Chains A and B, each alone.
Chain A
Amino acid sequence: MTSLNKSGLLASHGEVLREGVRDGTPIALGYFVVAFTLGIAARNAGLSPLQGFLASFFNNASAGEYAAFTVIAADSPYMEMALITLVANARYLLMSCVLSQRFAPDASIWHRIFVGFDVTDEIFGISAARPAPLDPYYNYGAMLVALPGWAGGTALGIIAGNALPAAAVSALSVALYGMFLAIIIPPARVNRVVGAFVAIAFAASFAASVLPVVSELSGGTRTIILTVVLAAIAAWKYPREE
């Protein structure tokens, strides 16, 4: 009532912002635990709590950051840091392409930049599961809780180390996978092609993790290769009717 602008923003985006916070909460909890253990690796690489907080705030990527901390620990050239980050995070390029098609064509460049800022596996998952066009305020709601969970968890991990009991870490570490299941299983039930390819993806991913040669690739690289190959086969054999 005091500020027209503010009440207008909350009136038109408040509900979807709250939905983002709601769906972002389990993400934030899962992030906090994973980031806590990541903080231990950061401390071993010589990062201060503030440096860990900033690394996680601007990167928000578990495998990518873990790989980066090993580069710092080894005192490797800056070029190696750029290459390893590129390889470990390349899947976000694909996710960003998917989201570019969910935006309304006239969406402002600022919304595109801020949504792009935090394209993680989990936030991508929940926002891609919603009907197009993408409402950036949903992503902002999720980021509002997920980013502090991730960056704060990393800083606390550097400070407090191994304070969390193993049973709690183990239980909480499946929170993110549970969320993935909640995203992929309902459409797999409705759409036969999606269902079949989810099953094929499970099997192929398991095979790739045990077979010689492929299993020696990093998890991030395996994810990209399997995703591109399987999605290309699905699109070629079962193109979508518009």
Chain B
Amino acid sequence: MTHSIWVYLLVMSVVTLAIRILPLTLIRRQIKSRFLRSFLFYVPYITLAVMTFPDIIHATQTPASGFLALVVGAALAWAGASLFKVSALCCVVVFLAERFLVG
């Protein structure tokens, strides 16, 4: 080990914090471009959707239990269940499904 873990931690933290903080502090005015405003409006939904699927089926012990959680979670959210309820019931679905799926 020729490098110091403390210097590694410093380098990674500085880079991460710069990425997170610079846009928020440098872009202080409302963006006028209709395209850019629309773009930034769509980003949250699209990026969260991209991160949810197919990752959810790889996070669990069996793809089927993750997929079931996706279907049940989406249905609950569609029906208007709260953030906490959707999240907790997804966990319950996986736990129960895997009692049958995983021997």
Closest partner residue, chain A, to B81 (CB atom) = A182
Interface residues of B in 55-103 (CB under 8 A from A): 55-56, 59-61, 65-66, 69-70, 73-74, 76-78, 80-95, 98-99, 102
Interface size on B, residues (CB 8 A): 81
B7: chain A residues at CB < 8 Å are: 78
**Contact pick for A78, options B11, B25, B82, B90, CB 8 Å:** B11
| A17 CA / B85 CA spacing, docked (Å) | 20
The stretch among A6-14, A21-29, A144-152, A156-164 that forms the contact with chain B is A21-29
Q: Are B42 and A185 in contact (CB under 8 A)?
A: no
Q: Are A236 and B35 in contact (CB under 8 A)?
A: yes
Most buried by A among B8, B37, B53, B89: B8
Q: Are B61 and A170 in contact (CB under 8 A)?
A: yes
Minimum C-beta distance from B95 to chain A (A): 4
A72 with B16, Cβ < 8 A, contacts A180-B48, A201-B46 known: no
Q: Are A188 and B34 in contact (CB under 8 A)?
A: no
Q: Are B43 and A94 in contact (CB under 8 A)?
A: yes
| A54 CA / B17 CA spacing, docked (Å) | 13
Q: Are A92 and B13 in contact (CB under 8 A)?
A: no
Q: Are B11 and A81 in contact (CB under 8 A)?
A: yes
Q: Are A46 and B5 in contact (CB under 8 A)?
A: yes
Q: Are A178 and B89 in contact (CB under 8 A)?
A: yes
B77: chain A residues at CB < 8 Å are: 181-182, 184-186
Q: Are A240 and B11 in contact (CB under 8 A)?
A: no
Q: Are A231 and B5 in contact (CB under 8 A)?
A: no
**Contact pick for B42, options A65, A91, A96, A231, CB 8 Å:** A231
Q: Are A186 and B30 in contact (CB under 8 A)?
A: no
B27: chain A residues at CB < 8 Å are: 97, 100-101
**Contact pick for A175, options B1, B24, B87, CB 8 Å:** B87
Q: Are B61 and A115 in contact (CB under 8 A)?
A: no
Q: Are B8 and A113 in contact (CB under 8 A)?
A: no
Q: Are B38 and A240 in contact (CB under 8 A)?
A: yes
| A126 CA / B37 CA spacing, docked (Å) | 19
**Contact pick for A89, options B1, B16, B29, B76, CB 8 Å:** B16
16 example contacts (A-B, Cβ-Cβ < 8 A) are as follows A51-B6, A58-B16, A93-B20, A95-B47, A100-B24, A116-B23, A124-B44, A167-B61, A173-B94, A175-B91, A183-B48, A184-B52, A188-B45, A202-B53, A223-B50, A234-B39
Residues of A at the B interface (CB closer than 8 Å) are 22-23, 25-26, 30, 46-47, 51, 54-55, 58-59, 61, 64-65, 68, 71-72, 75-78, 81-82, 85-86, 89-101, 103, 105, 109, 112-113, 115-119, 121, 124-126, 128-129, 166-168, 170-189, 193-194, 197-198, 201-202, 204-206, 209, 219, 222-223, 226-227, 230-232, 234-236, 238-240, 242
